[in-house]
Structures are given as structure tokens and as C-alpha cells.
Amino acid sequence: MPPRLRTTFAVMILGLFLIPAISLYRELSKPSDIWWTPPSLMVPLTEAADRVRVYVAGKPLTALVEAGQLRIADGASSRVVAASDIGFRLNNYDRVRAERIPLLLAYAAMCGALTALIVALLSGRLAYRGEVDASSA
């Protein structure tokens, strides 16, 4: 293969390699603590029952709230905790991580295929045979 053509292909493959490599790096370097529910979208106690159960002194939190046994002390005054006072911020990192596995696998496969292609190109395994005339065959 002529050196100029080899260089052109090598630059083109390296450019194509950078696209999934940068995306893969960006996905894997994201912090894992950003997947918490925002404070403005906290889940109420009644909706969080299927994902979390909270116990206080061995009793379910919902039973204590319904019975009026929890109180908040604000300085000199205190009041009973209502179910609307309780909210949960959930960590959704496990769900997000499971959703992005196919994308990460596709990026990794593309990086592997382009690496194999660049190795084959640089080692001279891709032979340039030129054009064959149909009448001479």
C-alpha cells in the first residue's frame, strides 16, 4: 500500500476512533452521586412504599405517622409530623447504570474494531493490489 494512502487511512481511522473513545470516557467518568432525586421532586411517603421501608424503634414509619406518635420540636413548640412532611430522595444510579450498558458496549465494540483495523493497517496486513484489468484475467 502506498505510504500516502496508508497515512490517509490511518488518520481517518484514528479520527473515527476518537468519536466512541471520547463518548466512552465521558460516560464512565461521570460522578455516580448525581442520580439522586432533586429536592423539588421528592417522593412522598405513600409513593415511596414500594421502594423503601423506614422503621423507627422497630415500628414502620407509616404506622407511627398515622397514629400521630412522631413530633417535631421547633424551639419551645412542637407539632405532630404529618405524612406530607415526609419526603424521600431516591438514588436512581442503579437504573441509569443498567440503561446505559448497551450504549457502553457499542462504544467498546467500536473502539475494538477500529483498533484492530488500525493495527492491520499499520502492520501492512492490508495489501494494496492495484486495479486488475478485466481483459487480462
CB 27 within 8 Å of CB 105: no
CB 17 within 8 Å of CB 108: no
Domain match, 28 and 43 both: no
Q: Per-10-residue mean pLDDT for the chain, 137 residues long?
A: 81 91 88 79 82 86 87 86 84 82 92 90 73 64
pLDDT of residue 94: 79
Range of the domain at 102: 1-32+98-137
- Residue 35 has, within 13 A of its CA and on its CB side, a CA count of 12
pLDDT of residue 111: 92
- Determine the Cα–Cα distance for residues 23 and 8; give it in Å rounded to an integer: 24
Domain match, 45 and 77 both: yes
Structural domains counted in the chain: 2
SS (H, E, C) the chain: CCHHHHHHHHHHHHHHHHHHHHHHHHHHCCCHHHCECCHHHCEECCCHHHCCCCEECCEEHHHHHHHCCCEEEECCEEEECCHHHCEECCECHHHHHHHCHHHHHHHHHHHHHHHHHHHHHHCCCCCCCCCCCCCCC
Last residue of some domain: 57, 73, 90?
90
For 20, counting Cβ atoms within 10 Å of its Cβ (0-12 exposed, 13-18 middle, 19+ buried), the class is buried
Domain match, 27 and 51 both: no
Task: Pull the grid cell for residue 61.
Answer: 414509619
CB 2 within 8 Å of CB 130: no
pLDDT of residue 39: 82
Domain match, 117 and 135 both: yes
Domain match, 25 and 55 both: no
pLDDT of residue 136: 61
